[in-house]
Amino acid sequence: MSNAAKVSEFLDKAQTFYFLTTDGDQPKGRPFGFHLLDGDTLYFGCGTFKNVFKQLTANPKVEVLAVNGGEFLRYDGKAKVVKDEKLLAKVRAAMPQIMDLYDKNGWEMGLFFLEDGHAEIRGLFELKEEFDV
pLDDT per residue as tens digits for the range 52-90:
999 999 999 999 999 999 999 999 999 999 999 999 999
Task: Provide the CA 14 distance to its chain's centre, in angstroms.
Answer: 13
| Beta carbons of 100 and 52 less than 8 angstroms apart | no
Identify the pLDDT of residue 124: 87
- Separation of alpha carbons 39 and 58, rounded Å: 27
Kindly report the pTM of this predicted structure.
0.94
Region 31-46: what's the mean pLDDT?
Answer: 95
Instruction: For residue 127, give the CATH number of its domain.
Output: 2.30.110.10
CB atoms within 10 A of CB 115: 11
For 8-31, the pLDDT digits (tens) are 999 999 999 999 999 999 999 999
Q: Is the dihedral of CA 11, 13, 16, 18 positive or negative?
A: negative
> Quick check: 40 pLDDT over 90?
yes
CB 28 within 8 A of CB 34: no
| Whether the predicted pLDDT of 6 surpasses 90 | yes
Domain count, the chain: 1
Which tens digits make up the pLDDT trace of 96-117?
999 999 999 999 999 999 999 9
